Amino acid sequence: MHKVIAAAIDSNILSASESFIDQCCTQNVEYAQTYDEKIYDVRAPPSKHLAIVCCMDARLDVFRMLGLKPGEAHVIRNGGGRIRDAVRSLVCSQTLLQTKEVMIIHHTDCGFTYFSNNDQVMTALKLQPGTEVGNLPIFQTIPGQVSATTTPDFMPIADLEQSIRDDLAEYKQYPMLNQNVTVRGFLYDTKTGLLKEVK
């Protein structure tokens, strides 16, 4: 937990005049000089018909990790790589763009493993100035379980392999998701770069 809080405090040190977004825009100009627009010639589903749900952790290079090229897969990212946060995008991926397989990937050294319970996440958030966490729809749990006293669920991860099993099980609770496709869960080891399937 201390690691996450320290990172949040460090990020507040940057001034507005040191915006990294400006550097990204400069790098975009360089990228555009060798850009191949042919990838957008045809509006098509991902060519490998694969959707990947994984963590937003900036260190994860999902395309290189899986040997993918642009246009081959949808990559849906959120904190912890949780299926609950990915449902809206995954529904569109499956129904509008014909993805037929789903990979759920969690990883070691995930920030959500630094918290053993939801209260610790809430405490860490309250330490940040201006943060208000209420009963917002985005934080509600599975449909049908919402009430006026619903506490936001940030889904801390106490056990990585169990969190993958939980997400595989939760996938089945959403009838709008295609239940007739292959859905598999994996743990990515940040020390070795290897995936381990979790069933």
Report in angstroms the alpha-carbon separations of 121 from 107, 132, 156, 189. Answer: 19, 13, 7, 24
| pLDDT digit string, tens, across residues 75-124 | 999 989 999 999 999 999 999 999 999 999 999 998 778 777 777 667 66
For residue 148, the 8-state DSSP code is T
Write b or e for each residue in 92-108: b if 16 or more Cβ atoms lie within 10 A of its Cβ, otherwise e. Answer: ebbeeeebeebbbbbbe
Residue ranges for the known binding site are 55, 57, 107, 110
Q: Which residues are annotated as a binding site for Zn(2+)?
A: 55, 57, 107, 110
> Residue 41: pLDDT band by 50, 70, 90 thresholds?
confident
pTM recorded for the entire structure? 0.78
Please report which confidence band the pLDDT of residue 138 belongs to, taking 50, 70 and 90 as the band edges.
Answer: very low
Q: In whole angstroms, what is the distance from residue 67 CA to residue 73 CA?
A: 11
Q: How confident is the model at residue 136, as a pLDDT? A: 46
Question: May I ask the CATH architecture of the domain 2-12+39-131+150-198?
Answer: 3-Layer(aba) Sandwich (3.40)
Which residues, at least 6 apart from 59, have a Cβ–Cβ distance to it below 8 Å?
Answer: 190
What's the pLDDT band for 37 if we cut at 50, 70, 90? confident
Residues 139-190: pLDDT tens digits? 554 455 544 456 677 787 889 999 999 999 999 999 999 999 999 999 999 9
